């Protein structure tokens, strides 16, 4: 091992010397790799933001198990099931309580612009709050009042005036589903790809907003377990006991249920995956052009080495050296630019766009693979060529 390390240290850095011979070409190559990295990082960032933003509410659910209709597609397209299924679940060992959560998209009039838009409305028993949000716990007494709502202060849109008024203790009056309502408190969740914002209120206020909805038709059932019971085992017991018009999931499975919808049943997940692939292919093409040009410029030197008995593996090693150098040098500005783009997107859209170490390493590995593939393609000409033909 020591001898191998010494051999590497004695080796002439031919790849580095060839790359730095023409500074302008090196800068173009680094820019190309950085551009490909930015493309991949942005697409991966959007994809993760898609999943994280659309599962924010799921992650804050104050429950052990979730009861849904098997025909439900995602949170805003959740079919209903009979409320009596919640009462039936109470007879299964380990179940402490079972409460309904009502969900509907509502037509909201923005009190600042007077324009109408859709928001997500969530109704639940204020004596048994459905979410573990600290602000919600502090304002539960407010939503017990008729036509009183809490508003998401991290909503996307022109709501700054409303949020500022409510945060100062004022009540904002507006319309939801053509019914006058009062915004008396705030909580913080954030926008998603499905809804710009949300409102929370009591189940009674919810049913008054949507008179066609019946209290006996529930979107989601929240099941709390007694201490010491395993959620997986109780979920299996409930699935075996209850009729087939409902399905029981753990909280983690419910989060995966939402992610699976966006990744497989919508075009958005595919588009982001395609974007990563396109960024990878763009990088392969750019790096191949640089390395291929470099090989052609030094074809005489390579011919001399080949005539002296150097194997194709040696040439491959030189080009791989160049590829790794380009991957690392291009990755650094790519990460820097992506961090700025993430922040810009986060501020503009309220989407959870954050750079993670795992994503940075993922893109670095993809960049190295990308450059290595380009190197293999660029050296194919040398593999079959005769030294005499190369002079």
What pairing do the DSSP bridges indicate for beta strands 179-187 and 247-250?
unpaired
* Cβ atoms 279, 43 nearer than 8 A: yes
- The pLDDT tens digits of the residues spanning 33-80 come to 999 999 999 999 998 888 888 999 999 999 999 999 999 989 988 999
Tokens at 313, concatenated: 């593996």
In sign, the C-alpha dihedral spanning 124, 127, 129, 130 is: negative
Closest CA to 86 of 67, 60, 69, 102: 67
Instruction: Give pLDDT, residue 116.
Output: 85
Tokens at 26, concatenated: 């090196």
Residues of the chain above pLDDT 90, percent: 50
- The pLDDT tens digits of the residues spanning 7-16 come to 444 455 666 7
What pairing do the DSSP bridges indicate for beta strands 148-152 and 198-202?
antiparallel
Between CA 35 and CA 330 the distance in angstroms is: 8
Tokens at 126, concatenated: 């204020």
Closest CA to 118 of 135, 105, 136: 105
**pLDDT score of 297 more than 80:** no
- What H or E segment, with its residue span, contains residue 319? helix 312-349
Beta carbons within 10 angstroms of residue 58's beta carbon: 21
> Count of alpha carbons within 13 Å of 318, Cβ hemisphere only?
24
What is the rounded (10 degree) CA torsion for 19, 24, 28, 30? 50
Q: Residue 359: which pLDDT band, with cuts at 50, 70 and 90? A: very high
- The pLDDT tens digits of the residues spanning 127-150 come to 999 999 999 999 999 999 999 999
Helix (H, G, I), strand (E, B) or coil at 224: strand
Between CA 311 and CA 305 the distance in angstroms is: 8
- The pLDDT tens digits of the residues spanning 184-238 come to 999 999 888 888 889 999 999 999 999 999 999 999 999 999 999 999 999 999 9
Q: How many residues does the chain have?
A: 391
**pLDDT score of 385 more than 60:** no
- In this prediction the pTM is 0.79
Instruction: Give pLDDT, residue 6.
Output: 44
User: Using a CB cutoff of 8 Å and minimum separation of 24, what contacts does 360-366 make?
Assistant: 360/41, 360/335, 362/44, 363/37, 363/40, 363/41, 363/44, 363/331, 363/334, 363/335, 364/327, 364/331, 366/40, 366/280
């Amino acid at each position: 091992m020591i001898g191998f390390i010494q051999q590497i240290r004695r080796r002439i850095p031919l790849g580095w010397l060839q790359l730095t011979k023409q500074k302008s070409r090196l800068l173009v190559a680094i820019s190309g790799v950085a551009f490909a990295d930015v493309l991949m990082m942005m697409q991966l960032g959007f994809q993760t933001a898609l999943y994280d933003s659309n599962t924010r509410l799921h992650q804050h659910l104050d429950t052990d198990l979730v009861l849904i209709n098997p025909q439900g597609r995602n949170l805003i397209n959740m079919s209903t099931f009979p409320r009596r299924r919640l009462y039936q679940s109470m007879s299964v060992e380990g179940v402490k309580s079972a409460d309904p959560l009502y969900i509907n998209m509502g037509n909201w009039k923005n009190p600042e612009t007077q324009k109408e838009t859709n928001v997500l409305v969530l109704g639940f028993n204020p004596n048994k709050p459905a979410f573990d949000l600290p602000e919600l716990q502090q304002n539960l007494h407010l939503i017990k009042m008729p036509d009183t709502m809490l508003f998401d202060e991290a909503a996307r849109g022109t709501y700054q005036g409303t949020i500022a008024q409510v945060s100062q203790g004022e009540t904002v009056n507006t319309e939801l589903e053509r019914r006058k309502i009062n915004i008396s408190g705030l909580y913080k969740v954030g926008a998603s790809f499905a809804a710009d914002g949300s409102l929370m209120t009591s189940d009674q206020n919810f049913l008054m907003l949507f008179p066609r909805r019946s209290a006996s038709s529930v979107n989601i059932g929240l099941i709390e377990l007694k201490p010491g019971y395993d959620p997986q085992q109780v979920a299996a017991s409930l699935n075996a006991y209850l009729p087939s018009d409902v399905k029981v999931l753990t909280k983690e499975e419910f989060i995966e249920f939402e992610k699976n919808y966006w990744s497989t049943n919508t075009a958005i997940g595919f588009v982001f995956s395609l974007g990563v692939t396109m960024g990878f292919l763009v990088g392969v093409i750019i790096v191949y052009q640089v390395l291929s040009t470099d090989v052609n410029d030094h074809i005489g030197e390579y011919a001399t080495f080949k005539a002296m008995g150097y194997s194709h593996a040696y040439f491959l090693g030189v080009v791989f050296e160049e590829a790794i150098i380009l991957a690392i040098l291009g990755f650094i500005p790519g990460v820097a630019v992506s961090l700025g783009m993430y922040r810009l997107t986060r501020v503009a859209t309220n989407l959870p766009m954050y750079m993670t170490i795992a994503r940075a390493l993922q893109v670095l590995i993809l960049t190295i693979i990308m450059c290595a593939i380009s190197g293999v393609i660029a050296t194919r000409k040398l593999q079959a060529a005769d030294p005499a033909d190369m002079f």
